[in-house]
Amino acid sequence: MKNIKGPALFLAQFAGDDAPFSSWGDITKWAADCGYAGVQVPSWDARLIDLDKAAASKDYCDEFKGVAQANGVEVTELSTHLQGQLVAVHPAYNEGFDGFADPSVRGNPKARQEWAVDQVKKAITASRNMGIDAHATFSGALAWPYMYPWPQRPAGLVETAFDELAARWLPILNHADENGVDVCYEIHPGEDLHDGVTFEMFLDRLNGHARCNMLYDPSHYVLQCLDYIDNIDIYHERIKMFHVKDAELNPTGRQGVYGGYQSWVDRAGRFRSLGDGQVDFGAIFSKLAQYDFDGWAVVEWECALKHPEDGAREGAAFVRDHMIRVTERAFDDFADGGTDEVANRRMLGIGD
């Protein structure tokens, strides 16, 4: 059996213009001080990483990792959540997502998509240069506006959307395979890959591509009323990454899953700091240990109420308390009778 690694922290929600969050050296020191052993890096944030250099230079990657190690943390994975989102954008979201892109391609969907594909490929190459074999991203979405259809969807609309989504990602996944890196899609509302069924639709069109995998985040399943424990039983062979994030769903007579267009703090379903929501992390860590998950337990802080720095410090301790050091022997080994095959046959009444 294998052990989960951790705790680690996704830095996307913490990077900023003020110290200690404005530089790679300072933020890794801060993360280690909070109790983390690793950090997941948002590859779009130039305050922390130069993605072009990371893709082009192993020396840069060695130096980048060296700074983190000197400060007491490992680089666990790189993320292209924002760039992956731009691999597939429905026109309804052009304005909303344009800000994720480099200014040179904004307002030009074709150029923006090409830029996004190049970004994800560079991050995969950078992962290889850092000796990292898993990469976090979003799938993007073409069919999401038609998720809850009225009027009804035309026949074939969803199938065409998924055909196109798979066609856009196949060259990226092939590049990942050449570099020995698994692409882990965060299964997330707003993406076409938002539950198990949609992941399977995508995977089928990719002929079961070995590099097409999942980033498991139970908070997004709580808010969909999806069985997040059964999800591990079904997809454990494809779960290569884990975001430890809590959530709660408290529906009322006025609102439920869709939230009534309210702000996060006023929604029936909202994200919470670890331990403040409804996710059964004891069951999750047990399931992942059962299936030999040996990736990182990465805290992603998103809470409608608690200050992020408090959430980060509490999150490190929370994960440590839930990590399971797997046993190397059976609990009843003390009662081993020391039998052999001959004795086994006698016990079954099939001896000579």
Task: Tell me the pLDDT tens digit for each residue of 122-181.
Answer: 999 999 999 999 999 999 999 999 999 999 999 999 999 999 999 999 999 999 999 999
pLDDT computed for residue 145 by the predictor: 96
What per-residue confidence (pLDDT) applies to 345? 86
Q: State the Cα–Cα distance between residues 309 and 313, nearest whole angstrom.
A: 6
Q: What is the mean pLDDT of residues 214-235?
A: 98
The yes-or-no verdict on residue 102 having pLDDT over 80 is yes
Residue span of the structural domain in which 15 resides: 5-347
Find the CATH number of the domain harbouring 83.
Answer: 3.20.20.150
Q: Beta strand 5-10 with 182-186: parallel, antiparallel or unpaired?
A: unpaired
Within a domain: residue 352?
no
DSSP code per residue over 169-238: HHHHHHHHHHTT-EEEEE--TTSS--SHHHHHHHHHHTTT-TTEEEEE-HHHHHTTT--HHHHHHHHTTT
What is the average pLDDT across 325-340? 74
CB atoms near residue 327 (< 10 Å):
10
For residue 235, is it within any domain? Answer: yes
Short-list 210, 185, 183, CA closest to 198: 185
Phi first, then psi, for residue 74 (nearest 5°) are -100, 155
- 129 belongs to a structural domain: yes
- Rounded Cα distance, 257 and 268, in Å: 7
What is d(CA 306, CA 271) in angstroms, rounded to the nearest whole number? Answer: 10
84 lies in a domain?
yes
Bridge partners (DSSP) of residue 269 are 249
Instruction: Confirm whether 124 is domain-assigned.
Output: yes
Mean pLDDT, rounded, of the chain: 96
pLDDT of res. 61: 98
From the list 272, 277, 275, 271, the residue with the least C-alpha distance to 318 is: 275
Enclosing H/E stretch for 247: strand 246-249
Number of structural domains, the chain? 1
Would 173 be classed as within a structural domain?
yes
Of 30-39, 158-167, 321-330, give the lowest mean pLDDT range: 321-330
State how beta strands 134-137 and 239-244 pair.
Answer: unpaired
Distance CA 127, CA 306 (A): 32
The percentage of residues in the chain with a pLDDT greater than 90, rounded to a whole number, is: 91
Per-residue pLDDT at 161: 98
For residue range 227-258, list pLDDT tens digits in order. 999 999 999 999 999 999 999 999 999 999 99
- Distance, in Å, from the CA atom of 158 to the CA atom of 103, rounded to the nearest integer, reads 31
Query: Is 30 a domain residue?
Result: yes
- CA of 320: how far to CAs of 8, 278, 317, 324, in Å? 10, 19, 5, 9
Instruction: With beta carbons less than 8 A apart as the criterion, state whether 162 and 88 touch.
Output: no
- Is 77 in contact with 296 (CB distance < 8 Å)? yes
3-class DSSP assignment, residue 297:
strand
Task: Tell me the percentage of the chain whose pLDDT exceeds 70.
Answer: 98
Q: What pLDDT sits at residue 335?
A: 64
Q: pLDDT tens, 40-86? A: 999 999 999 999 999 999 999 999 999 999 999 999 999 999 999 99
Band (pLDDT 50/70/90 cuts) for residue 269 is very high
Name the residue with higher pLDDT: 275 or 342: 275
DSSP for 306-344, please give it: S-HHHHHHHHHHHHHHH-----SS-TTGGG-----HHHH
Give the length of the chain.
Answer: 352
User: Which backbone phi and psi does 268 adopt, to 5 degrees?
Assistant: -65, -35
The confidence score (pLDDT) of residue 97 equals: 98
End-to-end CA distance of the chain: 37
Structural tokens at position 65: 């990792």
Indicate whether 269 belongs to any domain: yes
CB 218 within 8 A of CB 226: no
